Chain A
Amino acid sequence: MNAKPICTALGVVAGLAAVSAMADEPRTLTVYTYDSFVAEWGPGPGIKEAFEARCGDCRLEFVALSGGVDLLQRLRLEGEGSAADLVLGLDMNLMAEARDLDLLAPHQANLSRLSLPVEWDDPVFLPYDWGRFAFVYDREALPNPPKSFAELLAAPDDLKVIIQDPRTSVTGLGLLLWMKRVYGDEAPAAWEKLNDHVLTVTGGWSQAYFSLFMNGEAPMVLSYSTSPAYHMAVENTDRYQAAEFAEGHYLQVETAAMLKTSEHPALARDFLDFVLTADFQRHIPLGNVMYPAIELGEERPAVFDRLIEPESFTFTPDEVQAHRREWIREWLNASTR
């Protein structure tokens, strides 16, 4: 009804800002990423400083969104008009959909330095860190954690775990894929057994870890196998550890990619080259609490040697894209009964 004047007004505002942005000095790379990446203590500030020192007259600017899913949606909404030169934080499960947007350009980086538990030859998405989904447990509340999914499912009902919802959270989707990979067509039955142990299903990782797990509500929470590294290195406590499951763990790889529409494609490629150097990667282990994507040697914090090193596996991004809805439906049916 009255949308037009507002549109125009807001449009004028946006236009003015665009003009003022164009008048800006040297080359600025805009990087879309998620908010904990740019936090004061996260990897962002160190990376920004290192990259700006390396390129001389350029600036790196982060725009923080809530998470990987928000990054994808922002790209989708902005399309070719996106302000981003690079996007940092799309994980493997979002790759296929991001690729289909046809907005991303090949990275052309040298992949020989990569050190991942899986082969990687994707021309568009460049891994910058990785981790494994795992159940983190409280050693004081649970001295003998289950050693496999089978043990967890068969445990007495009073062993409770906190998980996240695959419809709203990256870790929740990780668990869904993990179960599917381990149990295949038996997954619904496995979910029914797991649900006896589920205290609650939170919307996001923060609620599960902070509001519930840290309050001692359950002895186990779905998180990453690297979470204990933070507790050991920064809080100096061995109390929280990841349970190693014999069936293997599902892998998460976080990637960087550049946009076709970048105003500074050469500089964006420079940045992607920079991603696989020690100057970028040394900020990952404790800044992002994930494994670095290259061999850091001496620079990798010692606590990372004390983490579990299980088998790991993934589905391909295309498999995830093809089946995600169907598998979520399967989970819903198994969990609402």
Chain B
Amino acid sequence: MASEALTAGKASPHGQRRLTQLPLWAGLTALAALVGLGLGSLGALLVQAPGVSPSSLWREPYLAGVLRFSLWQASLSTLVSLALAVPVAVALARRPRFVGRRLLLRAMELSLVVPSLIALFGLVAVHGRQGWAAPLWEALTGAPAGYLYGLSGIVLAHVFYNLPLAARLLLQELERAPAAHWRLAAQLGLQRQAIWRTLEWPALKRLLPRLAALIFTLCFTSFAIVMTLGGGPGSTTLEVALYQALKFDNDLALAALLALVQLTICLGLWALALSQGGAPSLVAGDDAMPLQGRWQRRDALGVSRFTDGCWLVALSLLLLPPLAAVVLAGLGGVTDLAAQSSLWPALGRSLVMAAGAGSLALMLGLALLAGRGWLAARGQRLTAGLMEGSGQLILVLPALVLGTGLFLLLRPRLGGGWQGYGLVVLVNGFMALPFVMQVLRGALLGLPVAQRRLADQLDIQGLARFRWLLWPRLRRPAALALAYAMTLSLGDFSVIALFGSPSAPTLPMLLYQQLGSYRWQTAAATALVLLATVAALFMCFAWLTRRLPRYPFACPPRPDFPQPPANDRPEP
């Protein structure tokens, strides 16, 4: 596994022992940092709390109701997102070439990182009572469009966020299937049903548990969406109760209790998911794209042309109109941007912080995965799982609890200025870990056996091993992971709001300042700048790590030149 990829264990000559343990120590350091930060801040809160009474959870009908609703909406959102993501991913995999496919994939990456306030604006503009879709709804059902408010609205917004994420990850998993499998399927003349049973479902099955855990966590901890679209206090989630307890009522005991409940539920789910094994990844895959337009899949003809088309149109209809609404609103305010002297410094500040958070997340993610691989290779499955699971800790811990706890730890006081920014970078980096690890996992853990044995035989160790064996496979996933982590940090407001700031705002802060003082148009333009920056980041990283031709001046290969399969079969 990964550690063996990095280091050859027994085969190494004397003096290499220290180096072989490097992955373990890197992993342990990252683990200590994570657990220290997470449990440290929760512990600080618990120490301050006068007395936690878990029984209030079921004795107090309000809290019981809150918990029930949180679970219900998160489960429903997860289920709907995944159930729809599977056919969408299958359709996308079956249609490797159509006009706008790349655009659609880019939009899918974007939707994850749109700040919730902006996403809400877009969703309301499209699905609201006066939205673009309202006349259609009224024509179809005869009733005015009110579906955006209430549980249906919450689920719709969560699906808007998570279906593209899920479909994108599932698509990568499908595209990782080696070319030989597809050739065999074609030779055997497998039909739709059989392909699903033998090729597609086994690939998806590996990924679904983790994906479910990730999406459930994101939905469970969602705040602004649930509150705005919920319709009333009947739709109260744990995060709202936590906010109330911590901020309005100063009830640290209750806040700590609620945080513990959230931690237990989400970590329990992660434990369940991680025990299912599998190696999902979000690789910007040119790695194993076996069927890229080389022949048409047998099942791509006939009725599936129609159904696939339907799924893809449906995905576009879900994803693109709200984004378009945001862009349109932003264009209306572009003229105000020139007068905004604070915009470009804010963008610069945000980018610097995002770069810090992104690199931190990348390093931590690599360290944890390397440590996990080292442990798993030595049969320590439980510790290995623990190490990987710890990456999710900061995401499932409510940001409010993390911030307050850190505050208590850092008392008597937290200086302003760069310390505040530093903390934000730190927390943002940790929060991006689950995404980064999801992206890196496959590349780091799925090294083909043959390549590894060859490297062992040739005694390629240490740096050389990293340079020639790992880095080529890691380059693109690492860039994608960095892009995800950076954009998450770019769009984040929750953490930066915790620590407060001197008058120099970051981009999301500027956005909220503009909203707080009625400047809608300018705020929409700022949001547009944010979206454009995110898109540019993804494109920039994809371009930087594109596969350069090895011999730039050689003749192009003849089209009929048989190309070797991109990959050996990954280790089962």
Residue numbers of A with Cβ under 8 A of B are: 1-7, 10-11, 13-14, 17-18, 21, 30, 32, 34-36, 38-42, 44-45, 61-66, 69-70, 73-74, 76-83, 97, 160, 165, 167-168, 195, 198-212, 214-218, 227, 230-231, 234, 287-289, 324-325, 329, 331-332, 335-336
B contact residues around A203 at 8 Å (CB): 223-224, 227-228, 240
Asked if B409 CB lies within 8 Å of chain A CBs, one says yes
Residues of A within 8 A of B65 (CB): 336
Choose, from B95-103, B123-131, B353-361, the stretch at the interface: B123-131
With A and B bound together, what is the CA distance between A204 and B413 in angstroms? 28
8 residue pairs, one from A and one from B, having the closest CB atoms: A81-B412, A3-B40, A36-B516, A203-B227, A2-B36, A39-B513, A6-B36, A216-B130
A39:B233 contact, CB within 8 angstroms: no
Those of B293-349 within 8 Å (CB) of chain A: 340-342
17 pairs, A vs B, C-beta closer than 8 Å: A2-B40, A3-B36, A17-B415, A38-B513, A64-B503, A64-B509, A73-B246, A77-B407, A78-B411, A165-B227, A165-B233, A165-B240, A195-B232, A207-B224, A230-B517, A234-B518, A324-B248
Min CB gap A169→B, angstroms: 9
Query: Is A206 within 8 A of B516, CB to CB?
Result: yes
CB distance A211 to B228 under 8 Å?
A: yes
Contact B250 A73 (CB under 8 A): yes
Closest B residue to A288 by beta carbon equals B517
Q: Is the CB of A1 within 8 A of B419?
A: no
In the assembled complex, the CB of B489 is this many whole angstroms from the nearest CB of chain A, namely 18
Partner of A200 from the list B149, B412, B509 (CB cut-off 8 Å) is B149
The interface stretch among B186-194, B437-445, B494-502 is: B494-502
Establish whether residues B230 and A201, one from each chain, have CB atoms under 8 Å apart when the complex forms: yes
Mask for B7-50, Cβ within 8 A of A = 1, else 0?
00000000000000000000000001101110110011000000
Check B412–A78 contact: CB distance below 8 A: yes
Dominant SS at the B interface? Answer: helix
User: How many chain B residues touch A (Cβ–Cβ < 8 Å)?
Assistant: 76
What's the nearest-Cβ distance from chain B to residue A142, in Å? Answer: 13
Q: Is the CB of B240 within 8 A of A14?
A: no
Q: Is the CB of B233 within 8 A of A35?
A: no
A residues within 8 A CB of B277? none
Q: How far is it, in angstroms, between the C-alpha of A21 and the C-alpha of B231 when the chains are bound?
A: 47
Partner among A13, A32, A210 whose Cβ is within 8 Å of the Cβ of B500: A32
Q: Besides A6-B33, A39-B513, A42-B513, 5 other CB < 8 A contacts?
A: A3-B409, A4-B36, A78-B411, A83-B413, A216-B130
Chain B neighbourhood of A69, CB < 8 A = 247-248
Chain B positions within 8 Å of A211 at CB level: 117, 120-121, 124, 228
Cα(A42)–Cα(B513), bound, Å: 9
> In the complex, are the beta carbons of A7 and B409 less than 8 A apart?
yes
Looking at the assembled complex, report how far the CB atom of A188 sits from the nearest CB atom of chain B, in whole angstroms. 13
Q: Bound state CA distance, A159 and B125, in angstroms?
A: 20
Q: How far is the CA of A66 from the CA of B128 in the complex (A)?
A: 28
State whether the Cβ of B234 lies closer than 8 Å to any Cβ in chain A. Answer: yes
Q: How far is the CA of A270 from the CA of B417 in the complex (A)?
A: 25
B530 to chain A: closest CB distance in Å? 15
- Are A44 and B503 interface neighbours, CB within 8 A? yes
B410 at the interface (CB under 8 A from A): yes
Contacts of B224 in A (CB 8 A): 203-204, 207
Interface of chain B residues 378 through 425 with chain A (CB within 8 A): 404, 406-419, 422
Give chain A nearest CB distance to B308 CB in angstroms.
34
Contact of B234 among A63, A79, A218, A336 (CB under 8 A): A336
A210 engages B523 (CB within 8 Å):
yes
- The CA of A206 and the CA of B517, in the complex, are separated in Å by 9
B520 at interface (Cβ–Cβ under 8 A)?
yes
Q: Is the CB of A206 within 8 A of B515?
A: yes
Q: Would you call B502 and A63 a contact (CB within 8 A)?
A: yes
Measured in the bound complex, the distance between the Cα atoms of B524 and A206 in whole Å is 13
Interchain CA distance A335-B515 in the complex, whole Å: 28
Q: Which residues of B contact A30 (CB under 8 A)?
A: 416
Please tell me if the beta carbons of A5 and B36 are within 8 angstroms of each other in the complex.
yes
Q: Are B500 and A73 in contact (CB under 8 A)?
A: no
- A167 contacts which chain B residues (CB < 8 A)? 233, 240, 243-244, 248
Tell me the nearest residue of chain A to B120, going by C-beta: A211
Produce 1/0 per residue, B121-153, CB < 8 A to A: 100110011110000000000000000010000
Contacting residues of chain B (502-546) with chain A, CB-CB under 8 angstroms:
502-503, 505, 509-510, 512-520, 523
Q: Which residues of B contact A39 (CB under 8 A)?
A: 505, 510, 513-514, 516-517
Q: How far is the CA of A215 from the CA of B512 in the complex (A)?
A: 17
How far in angstroms is the closest Cβ of chain B from A285?
Answer: 13
Q: Is B286 an interface residue (CB 8 A)?
A: no
Please report the C-alpha to C-alpha distance between residue A30 and residue B125 in the assembled complex, in whole angstroms. 41
Given the interface pairs A77-B404, A168-B243, A336-B65, the reply to whether A215 lies near B128 with Cβ below 8 Å is yes
A81 touching B232 in the complex, CB below 8 Å, given contacts A3-B36, A63-B500: no
User: B243 contacts which chain A residues (CB < 8 A)?
Assistant: 167-168
Distance (Å) between the CB of B500 and the closest chain A CB? 4
Partner of A41, one of B247, B250, B408, B517: B517
Residues of A within 8 A of B62 (CB): 329, 332
Q: Which residues of chain A come closer than 8 Å to B510, judged between CB atoms?
A: 39
A111, B498: Cα distance in complex, Å: 34
Task: Report Cα–Cα, A35/B504, bound state, in Å.
Answer: 10
Across-interface contacts of B124 in A (CB, < 8 A): 211-212, 215, 217
CB < 8 Å neighbour of A210 from B39, B117, B417: B117
Contact B500 A65 (CB under 8 A): yes
Residue of B nearest to A38 (CB): B503
Q: Does any Cβ of A come within 8 Å of B229's Cβ?
A: yes
A2 to B413 alpha-carbon distance, docked (Å): 22
Give Cα A324 to B248, complex, Å.
10
CA distance A230 to B516 in the complex (A): 12
Check if B228 sits within 8 Å of A202, measured CB to CB. Answer: yes
Chain B residue numbers with a CB within 8 Å of A64 are 500-503, 505, 509
- Chain A residue nearest in CB terms to B341: A40
In the complex, which of the residues A7, A21, A36, A97 contacts B40, with contact meaning CB atoms closer than 8 Å? Answer: A7
Q: Hey, which chain A residues are within 8 Å of B515, CB to CB?
A: 206, 209-210
Asked, given contacts A3-B409, A201-B227, whether A66 binds B43 with beta carbons under 8 Å apart, the answer is: no
Judge whether A11 and B230 touch: CB under 8 Å. Answer: no
- Across the interface, name the chain A residue whose C-beta is closest to B116: A207
Are B120 and A207 in contact (CB-based, < 8 A)?
yes
Do B513 and A207 touch (CB < 8 A)? Answer: no
User: How far, in angstroms, from A81 to B415 measured CA to CA in the complex?
Assistant: 10
Contacts of A66 in B (CB 8 A): 497, 512
What is the CB-to-nearest-CB distance from B138 to chain A, in angstroms, rounded to a whole number?
A: 14
A-chain residues with CB within 8 Å of residue B131 when the two chains form the complex: 215
The residues of A that contact B125 with a CB separation of less than 8 Å are: 215
Kindly report which residue of chain A lies nearest to residue B516, judged by CB atoms.
A36
Determine the distance from Cα of A81 to Cα of B419 in the docked complex, in whole angstroms.
16
> A1 to B32, alpha carbons, bound, how many Å?
8
B128 touches A202 (CB 8 A): no
- In-complex Cβ contact of B408 among A21, A77, A97, A329 (8 A): A77
Tell me, rounded to whole Å, the shortest Cβ–Cβ distance linking A266 to chain B: 22
Please state if A3 and B149 are interface contacts (CB–CB under 8 Å).
no
For B231, B340, B404, the residue with the greatest tally of chain A CB atoms inside 10 Å of its CB is B231
Alpha-carbon separation in the docked complex, A249 to B40 (Å) = 46
Distance of A167 Cα from B512 Cα, bound (Å): 20
Mark interface residues in B211-244 (1 if CB within 8 Å of A CB, else 0): 0000000000001100111111110000010011
Residue from A41, A45, A207 within 8 A of B117 (CB atoms):
A207
State how many angstroms separate the Cβ of A185 from the closest Cβ of chain B. 21
CB <8 Å contact, B502 and A200: no
Give B405's nearest chain A residue, CB to CB.
Answer: A3
Q: Nearest chain A CB to B418's CB is how many angstroms away?
A: 7
Give complex CA distance A41, B341 in Å.
11
Q: A11-B410, A168-B243 are in contact. Are A215 and B130 (CB under 8 A)?
A: yes
A70 to B407, CA, bound (A): 13
- Give CA–CA (A206, B515) in the complex, Å: 6
Q: Are B412's CB and A79's CB within 8 A?
A: yes
Contact of B503 among A62, A76, A168, A336 (CB under 8 A): A62
